[in-house]
Amino acid sequence: MPFVETEVKLDFKDVLIRPKRSSLASRAQVSLERTYTFPNSKQTWSGVPIIAANMDTIGTFQVAEVLAKRKCITAMHKHYTVDEWKAWAAGPGREVLPYVAVSTGILEKDIDKLAEILKVVPQLKMVCIDVANGYSEAFVNCIRDVRKRWPELTIMAGNVVTKEMTEELIFSGADIIKVGIGPGSVCTTRKQTGVGYPQLSAVLECADAAHGLGGRIVSDGGCTCPGDLCKAFGGGADFVMLGGMLAGHDECGGEIMEEGGQYFKVFYGMSSDTAMKKHAGGVAEYRSSEGKTVKVPYRGPIDETIRDCLGGLRSACTYVGASELKELSKRTTFIRVTQQLNTVFTDSTKANPVKVEPPPDAKRVKV
């Protein structure tokens, strides 16, 4: 018989963080760097735990070069060739590799390609094993095989949204569990399948399970503004992965489109018909598209957006008296709310919005 859970599950929009007494005099006093030693790879990583998503237009070499300067990670999309990896790692990527994860699927051809990339770029220490449905037996077996073949490789794997599967993946060899099914801005899994889990509750529950085993989680999807990152970290996420929030920038993949004097870049989900036509020749007969394609207003250099996110995170820490990011979850109390924002001026993202135009030499397409 079907079972109905009656406990209310929460999304980022359902809560705010309660402020607390603080001895911090300035946001500049807050440290956002974390140091983790992973349970299975035994590797230690230090940096700012924000990850650019492994999507075609987000997880690019160019994005990685910028984010690495802020000590943030980029999970590369899995469609770069071995030769492209080799050339980049020998050139501008040489100093960036500590803040890069190579992505792979779970098919035999995916693992063969992963092996080739790791052979030509042995400095890579982190892999992102990425499937839409992290509950399959084939996925778990793949993690076990990768762990056995590369014992010292830090494995980020997902996606899941429940305690028991978080524990299963860590027991199988994963170090960082990707948490999130359906919350992404260009994901339509919930619409197409009816499957999902409110993101904040997923983070709270999976973090509790992972930390009990010495593992880590990354909140993947659902962030619409810097405040949502703060709530994810406050809820126990060790990393936060961003896709839509990083779309539309110079360093993102794709050309700039001009339409009616406005500039855009295309952004699409990796299960969208756009992605499947590009990489698999189309949507297979037995499945449906679970992603959408959108035009995102052109936003200029990505570093400004990252700086804005880091500034919001530092400010959240000062509001609760956390001098370090690792203290944020200990000092976070969520309060249930019926309204997040004052929406009188819904079109304005900043007090004085400025139209951003691409540089004259940028590639562009007129629509």
pLDDT of residue 292: 76
pLDDT digits (tens, 9 = 90+) for 98-124: 999 999 999 999 999 999 999 999 999
Radius of gyration of the chain (CA): 20
pLDDT at 126 over 90: yes
Q: With CA atoms as reference, report the closest residue to 332 among 306, 308, 311, 313.
A: 313
Distance between CA 136 and CA 107 in Å, rounded?
A: 13
Residue 290: which pLDDT band, with cuts at 50, 70 and 90?
Answer: confident
**In this predicted structure, what is the pLDDT of residue 351?**
47
| pLDDT, tens only, 308-338 | 999 999 999 999 999 999 999 999 999 999 9
How many CB atoms neighbour CB 71 within 10 A?
16
Most confident range (mean pLDDT) of 23-37, 246-260, 343-357 is 23-37
Tell me the mean pLDDT in the region 45-72. 97
How much is the pLDDT for 366?
60
Residue-wise DSSP of 12-49: GGGEEEPP-------GGG-B--EEEE-TTT--EEEE--
Crossing angle (nearest 10°) for helices 108-120 and 82-90: 20
Which tokens hold the place of 171?
A: 């027991």
Dihedral over alpha carbons 357, 360, 363, 366 (to 10 degrees): 60
- In contact, 153 and 41? CB cutoff 8 Å: yes
Sign of CA dihedral 222, 224, 229, 230: negative
Give the mean pLDDT of 59-82: 97
Kind and range of the H or E run holding 117: helix 108-120
Q: Which residue has the higher pLDDT, 35 or 344?
A: 35
Q: One of 57, 104, 166, 189 is an active-site residue; which one?
A: 189
CB burial of 290-300 (b: ≥16 within 10 Å; e: otherwise) equals bbbebbbebbb
- The size of the chain, in residues, is 367
SS3 279: helix
* pLDDT higher than 70, residue 207: yes
pLDDT on residue 287: 64
Whether 12 shows a pLDDT value over 50: the answer reads yes
Could you confirm whether 187 is annotated as catalytic?
A: yes
Cβ neighbours around 111 below 10 Å, total: 17
Q: Provide the pLDDT for residue 276.
A: 66
Say whether pLDDT at 241 is over 70. Answer: yes
What is d(CA 33, CA 192) in angstroms, rounded to the nearest whole number?
Answer: 38
What pLDDT does 347 receive? 54
- Give percent of the chain above pLDDT 90: 78
pLDDT single digits (tens) 294-304: 899 999 999 99
Query: Average pLDDT in the 217-229 region?
Result: 97
User: Which residues make Cβ contacts (< 8 Å) with residue 130, sequence separation at least 6?
Assistant: 54, 75, 78, 103, 104, 105, 157, 158, 159, 178
pLDDT at 353: 55
Q: Which one is catalytic: 128, 142, 187, 230?
A: 187
Q: How far apart are CA 224 and CA 363, in angstroms?
A: 27
Lowest mean pLDDT among 56-65, 68-77, 84-93, 265-274: 265-274
Mean pLDDT within 166-171: 98
Structure-model confidence comparison of residues 17 and 349, the more confident one:
17
Q: Which of 208, 262, 259 is nearest to 237 (CA)?
A: 208
Burial of 42 (0-12, 13-18, 19+ CB in 10 A): exposed
pTM, full prediction = 0.92
